[in-house]
Amino acid sequence: MRGASTIDTIPPTADLSAWGVHDLIRGARNLDGLSRHLGNTTNGLFNFLGQILPSTADPDQALNALEHFLANPTARGLLPALVADDGARLANLLQLFGTSHFLGDVLAADPDFLETATASLRVTPTRDDLIENLRAKTAAAIDDGAVLRAIRRFRRRQLLRIGVNDILRDRPLEEITADLSRVAEAAVIVAWDQAVRATENRFGEPRSGTGAAARAAVLAFGKLGGGELNYSSDIDLMVVYDEDGQTTSRRPIGNDDFYARAVAELIRLLSVHTDRGPAYRVDFRLRPDGQRGPLARSLASTLGYYDNLGRTWERQALIKVRPIAGDADLGAEFVDAVQPFVYKRFLSFAEINEIKAMKRKIEQHAHRTGGAREVKTGPGGIRDVEFAIQFLQLLNGGDLPAVRRRDTLGALHALEQAGCLTDTEYRGLDDAYRFLRKVEHRLQLLFDLQTHRLPEATDELRKLARRMNYLSSAEWGGGGGGG
């Protein structure tokens, strides 16, 4: 990138095609906008754009996002730093913009996040680091609206950091999903503490029948439970408390009511829409009795439900259950107590038929909603891999504790080590799962949407391939260097 001319002129519309821009009208508007935003202080920007844009996954999107970013006066003051060192930081920024419209919007709204997006590789924060960071931000909030903004700003900044590691540094799938899970855990931990305090302020502290302080645990299912969260996953949760009792206020309420109210507040803190959207979509439907059941149950009631009414699909869901917030000892007690229900010594013919019926239902739904274009539920998709692994875990986990892994890739390896899969089967499933999850991440990073559907238009498929680093820009007509 050395030797960029000091004469920085706006290129004619016709020259935009050499930059890989397809929509010349919008591209021209972007350039006009940049010219208005920057005036004479372009710092050689247009010359750098001509060199960098052709190698991005989507030059149109990258250029549009850059114009949107520099429309913010705070961002304009950062331009000299972006073009320093032969535009290396600008190149990283444009690669990010070309891959994720969402991350472009994050930076346009909060330009002070730029250091997060362009800094050299740093040590990944631990869960405790993340919790401390978010607690400090929420403690400094002056009202409820500020608390909501702090949680959402925290998530967006951390997703930007993780997206940089994923897109620019091509970090392994396990590292990305574990990092996404730690961020979500930190948000749940801080929000749960806030929710319990707010409920105690209104109704007093919950006590057991003996007068001891009541305890509750927040348990995660699904991809959060497995520590393998997506960029735009729902987080599946359940709350159990230790004993029935009541609060210490003048007008006491039962512990069941207290914790149901705390759950409702937790959901509000994480899910309510603000000017920065929600933080997380929270789903409590995997709790006993689903939507008809109470939002929180005692430990004895919850275990009693699984002993008497638990179904095979709930065994499958409980493979991934993990305590993430509240009282860790109570959470561990629940997980230990439910293991005999999850991992029985054998699967009966009725249970195997129930699993088959569930699989057929998933396939029928996938056929109605997009078939082979659905990377999650389509034939051979993410759900098929996970379903096969979980079936093998239920089949063998009673005798082989080593296969009782929550994470999909870890379980896959454990099944191979235990002889439940051949080396060829293991490698094929491992490769397929990693590829499909990366496709899923690229689809979700585009707009921060919970989508798993491949685009139909050829040009959009080519852009997706570029985001996956599969095509050079020359192969799809973008000009310039390889990808």
Helices (H) and strands (E) in the chain, counts: 20, 7
Helix, strand, coil % over all residues of the chain, rounded to 5: 65, 5, 30
Using the 8-state DSSP alphabet, how is residue 246 labeled?
A: E
Asked if 76 contacts 38 with a C-beta cutoff of 8 angstroms, the reply is: yes
Q: Strand, coil or helix: what is 173?
A: helix
What's the pLDDT score for residue 92? 94
Contacts of residue 216, defined as CB under 8 A and 6 or more positions apart, other chains included, come to: 196, 206, 239, 240, 241, 242, 259, 262, 296, 326, 327, 330
Contacts of residue 344, defined as CB under 8 A and 6 or more positions apart, other chains included, come to: 315, 394, 398
Round to whole Å and give the CA distance between 81 and 151: 29
Q: DSSP string of 26-68?
A: HHHHHHHHHHHHHTT--TTHHHHHHHHGGGSS-HHHHHHHHHH
Q: Cα-flanking dihedrals φ and ψ of residue 237, to 5°?
A: -130, 165
Residue 448 sits at the vertex; the CA angle it makes with 445 and 451, to the nearest 5 degrees, is: 85
> Which has the closest alpha carbon to 218: 174, 248, 185?
185
Mean pLDDT by runs of 10 across the 483 residues of the chain is 59 86 95 92 91 95 98 95 92 96 97 89 89 98 97 97 94 97 98 98 95 97 98 97 95 97 98 95 97 97 97 96 98 98 88 87 76 87 95 96 98 98 97 97 95 93 93 48 36
What's the pLDDT score for residue 7? 64
pTM: 0.94
What's the pLDDT tens digit per position in 360-389? 887 887 777 767 789 998 889 999 999 999
Packed helices 173-203 and 127-139: angle between N→C axes, nearest 10 degrees: 40
> Which has the closest alpha carbon to 216: 327, 340, 364?
327
Sign of CA dihedral 90, 94, 95, 97: positive
What's the pLDDT score for residue 212? 95
Kind of pairing between the strands at 322-326 and 245-247: unpaired
Q: Strand, coil or helix: what is 242?
A: coil
Asked if 52 contacts 91 with a C-beta cutoff of 8 angstroms, the reply is: yes
What's the pLDDT tens digit per position in 206-257? 999 889 999 999 999 999 999 999 999 999 999 999 999 999 999 999 999 9
State the virtual CA torsion across 123, 127, 131, 132 in degrees, nearest 10. -50
Round to whole Å and give the CA distance between 149 and 140: 12
What's the pLDDT score for residue 483? 34
